[in-house]
A and B are shown apart, each in its own frame.
Chain A
Amino acid sequence: MNKPQSKSVLLEIRGLKIDGYSDETWVPIIKGVDLTLRRGEVLGLIGESGAGKSTIGAAAMGYARDGTRISEGSIEFDGMELTTATSAEKRALRGSRIAYVAQSAAASFNPAHKLIDQHTEAPLHYRIKKRMEAQEDAMELYERLRLPSPREIGFRYPHQVSGGQLQRAMTAMAMSCRPDLIIFDEPTTALDVTTQIEVLAAVRDIVDQFNTAAIYITHDLAVVAQMADAIKVLLKGEEVEHAPTEKMLDAPEEEYTKSLWAVRSFKRPQKSRPEDDSKPVISVQGVDAAYTGGAKVLDDVSFDIYPGMTVAVVGESGSGKSTAARVITGLLPPMKGEVLCRGAALPPRYQDRTREQLRQAQMIYQMADTALNPKSRISDIIGRPAQFYSGLKGPMLKQRVDELLDLIELDPANFYNRFPPELSGGQKQRIGIARALAAEPEFIICDEVTSALDQLVAEGILKLLDRLQRELGLAYMFITHDLATVRSIADEVVVMQNGRVVEQGAKEEMFTPPHHPYTDLLLSSVPEMDPNWLTTLLEERGVDNIGEAARV
């Protein structure tokens, strides 16, 4: 990984400033960033959303997204100044000498064309290869990236291929013209941990084998630690710190960088089930469920959630976590089995539940953006459930809303009359929490509540949830695929795979071997800060036994 500094400079960015167009004026979003990348080197760009990582990544290709413009500075790629180059000159670089791998391969492959046709587009366009030759090369790359049936997979349409495979196919596509530089823009953020590994391994293979330089953009420190030779930390369009990976991990200098590292240290003590014979606040018993006309999504699922405890439900996408939540809330009546609340069966359909029963199961959603009505005032969003469940009116209702805003640490005077779009992501999520609290529930389902948030903001939400739990004695069902979050806040863990519960128990037991093989796979797939983690893991598992291949 440590490459000599003598290699020639490939990309040199000096004093880069980029403006974004908002509210009818141009506002600076990148405020003077320098960057030097040598041939074969990998630079990690990290920062929160809005830090300008992707904007810099696009600028390295001389590309300004719609609504942005490069206002100052120079971008020199292999001796060519991109800020003054004509659009035809810049276009000639893209795809051939600089390639791009996007965050969501599912959205970035054109749904109307076969993978291999999209792969061969650039080499054919640049007349680097003939069609047959280019296809042959694509298949070779697919094989090298360990895609299943590499000779056929290219002839499928994007929707016929899984997310992790698409992301690898996109990496292969970026390689189609053997570029000097690849921009990886959060290539694994949308993937499950087990899938993430195979993409990480593929990216590293490619970079090593072809000595390609890369800019690796991510908000996940542990991921960038595996990939990059050097790391640059960005905050609000400005560089905070730049250092070689190992130095950055061992001895970060800036306060902000240290705070990023510290997020992973939040942990609260584990609680155990109450000693007395109190009944679980929610008990799911032998539930089977399916969506209309579909196959079974839940298969004999049972778990208990005791008062005041946090039960984390973990598993990959499609494992049935959210479906279990829908069964508990009565949105999806089960085919078999039942849901008990303090020992009494809840009617399967929410329409049949009493107000008192409905009050017991409140939800907080992943996307606060879409879960809050943008046209409702905060006071109405929180006030409606308070009115519905507690019958409060007039000054009493206002007082209750103020109380709730205080609880979620937002100043009532400041937020009472505002609308969701005026709020930041973290604030919106807090409003979502207040809405759930307005019903005065004993039990709240948190569906991936932190996964759309930046790490620092997410930590704030976790701390808030923890405080509320202590003060109000709430029980949480915490749906997540992020095992770091589980480590910090869960008391008990339920591991789900393909609609079944494969293992459950107290957190300490779950994180101590021996594990169920699937739990083991999930746990060992979570990237760690150690820069050698991926290498070690690949050696342990063997290269052909990662990701989907390792499924039990």
Chain B
Amino acid sequence: MRDILGLVAKRLGLGLVTLLVVSVLIFFAVELLPGDIAQAVLGQMATEETLARLREELGLGRPAIVRYFDWLAGAVTGDFGTSLIDGEPVTAKITDRFVSTLFLAAYAAVIAVPFAITLGIIVALLRNSIFDRVANVVTLTSISSPEFFLGYILILYLAVKWSMFPAIASISSGMTLLELLERTFLPALTLVLVVTAHMMRMTRAAIINLLASPYIEMARLKGAPPWKVIVKHALPNAWAPIINVVALNLAYLVTGVVLVEVVFVYPGIGQLLVDAVAKRDFPIVQACCLIFAATFILLNLAADVGAILTNPRLRHPK
């Protein structure tokens, strides 16, 4: 156990270093964008005078490196500065949006992860059967279609034709959980369709990969029925690759959902980011990117720890 804590501490440290490097990249990438920030904010009609005043206000005259450390110092304390457009604090603006995104991601994950893994186990059990092929074709089709297309198809049938769920996922703070779940069902379902194939296929592959192992043959020769061979003897040894793919997909659910949010007009962080890029609201862009990077790093760390916890060699050293 102590080894694992040590390892987590080490990985967290490395994650922080990565985050620092990413913060440098984000800040200076935004700096490198062509054009003048003041010009972009104020538009073509701005006079030379107002432009100069805004530059002064934003402190753009100072060297970039100084502004980076200013920004970093703020970010560490949770203060990402103020929006260039409306002057509101970035942190407050982002928090709500990020919570909404996390809610949608969790909703999709709670359905998709158990569903994908169970399906993966079943197709491994019935490998090369008709069911296996159908499941593969269907999930591959859904992963190969652009998510906005899937979203519109779902809207067309489940919302417009059959009126089962609302087409627009507009939410407000006063809603009950049940209402929230109903309103966001279609975007969540879209995301489930997008991420299931990857996790299911990895579960299937990781299990089938182990079926040639001597201990699987031993289990069969002990008279274990096929489902037990898979669930009890293969699956516990297949977790590491599965967990990694799950983490990758969870990260996607947080950071890659812009299109789905746009389709369903869902007020998530992805939409905020796209708007901010369009309007050159750089403090928001920087904050969103940093949050995405942190999400990736944390989920990968969780995957590593999960892989260790499921490996008896590491859990029970000699």
Contact = CB atoms under 8 A, between A and B. Distances in A.
A384 B193 CA distance: 54
Contact of B215 (A61, A103, A110, A159): A110
B236 interface: yes
A125 B219 CA distance: 12
Interface string B202-227: 00000000001111011111111100
Given A110-B215, A112-B237, A159 B222 contact: no
Interface in A78-112: 91-96, 99-100, 102-104, 107-112
Interface in A431-469: none
Interface string B23-37: 000000000000000
Contact of B224 (A63, A121, A156): A121
A309 to B, nearest CB: 40
Contacts of B233: 110, 112
Interface string A115-150: 000000110011000000000000000000000000
Interface string A37-66: 000000000000000000000100101011
Range of interface residues on A (Cβ < 8 Å): 20 to 34
Contacts of B219: 110, 121
Contacts of B215: 107-111
Nearest to B237: A112
A448 to B, nearest CB: 22
A99 B221 CA distance: 7
Nearest to A100: B221
A512 B217 CA distance: 45
B6 interface: no
Contact of A125 (B214, B220, B223, B318): B223
B313 interface: yes
A353 interface: no
Contact of A113 (B213, B223, B228, B236): B236
A102 B312 contact: no
Contact of B221 (A61, A104, A157, A160): A61
B237 A94 contact: no
A91 B213 contact: no
Contacts of A63: 220-221
B2 interface: no
Interface in A156-182: 156-157, 159-160, 173
Contacts of A66: 212
B309 to A, nearest CB: 12
Nearest to B213: A107
Interface string B285-318: 0000000000000000000000000001100101
B89 to A, nearest CB: 50
A513 B217 CA distance: 46
Contacts of A173: 222
Contacts of A122: 222-223
A108 B217 contact: yes
A159 B222 CA distance: 21
B221 A94 contact: yes
B224 A109 contact: no
Most chain-B CB neighbours within 10 Å: which of A58, A108, A110, A157? A110
B318 A159 contact: yes
B224 A125 contact: yes
B102 to A, nearest CB: 33
A6 B41 CA distance: 103
A436 B73 CA distance: 63
A125 B221 CA distance: 13
B215 to A, nearest CB: 4
Contact of A94 (B220, B228, B318): B220
Interface in A398-430: none
A156 B215 CA distance: 17
Nearest to A159: B313
B223 A91 contact: yes
A96 B218 CA distance: 13
Contact of A102 (B218, B232, B316): B218
A87 to B, nearest CB: 9
B223 A96 contact: yes
Contact of B236 (A94, A109, A112): A112
B218 A111 contact: no
A107 B237 CA distance: 13
B316 A93 contact: no
Contacts of B218: 100, 102, 108-110
A102 B224 CA distance: 16
B312 A121 contact: no
A111 B215 CA distance: 8
Most chain-B CB neighbours within 10 Å: which of A66, A92, A113, A126? A113
B260 to A, nearest CB: 37
B223 A92 contact: yes
Given A102-B214, A104-B214, A159-B318, A111 B313 contact: yes
A110 B237 CA distance: 8
Contacts of B223: 91-96, 122, 125-126
Nearest to A96: B223
B1 to A, nearest CB: 16
Contacts of A103: 214
B252 to A, nearest CB: 29
B270 to A, nearest CB: 39
Nearest to B318: A160
B312 A157 contact: yes
A189 to B, nearest CB: 13
Given A107-B214, A111-B237, A94 B222 contact: yes
A111 B217 contact: no
B96 to A, nearest CB: 44
B314 to A, nearest CB: 10
Contacts of B316: 156-157, 159-160
Contacts of A91: 223-225
A11 to B, nearest CB: 16
B312 to A, nearest CB: 5
A92 B252 CA distance: 46
A445 to B, nearest CB: 30
B122 to A, nearest CB: 19
A178 to B, nearest CB: 14
B217 A65 contact: yes
Nearest to A63: B221
A91 to B, nearest CB: 5
A189 B213 CA distance: 18
A118 to B, nearest CB: 8
Contacts of A157: 312-313, 316
B61 to A, nearest CB: 54
24 contacts: A58-B221, A66-B212, A91-B224, A95-B222, A95-B224, A99-B222, A100-B222, A102-B214, A102-B217, A107-B213, A107-B214, A108-B218, A109-B218, A110-B219, A112-B233, A112-B236, A112-B237, A113-B232, A113-B236, A121-B219, A121-B222, A122-B222, A122-B223, A156-B316
Top 9 A-B pairs, shortest CB-CB distance: A112-B236, A95-B223, A95-B222, A94-B223, A107-B214, A100-B221, A108-B214, A108-B218, A110-B215
Given A92-B223, A94-B223, 14 more contacts: A63-B221, A91-B225, A94-B220, A95-B223, A99-B221, A107-B215, A108-B214, A110-B237, A112-B233, A112-B237, A122-B222, A156-B316, A157-B316, A159-B313
Interface of B: 212-215, 217-225, 228, 232-233, 236-237, 312-313, 316, 318
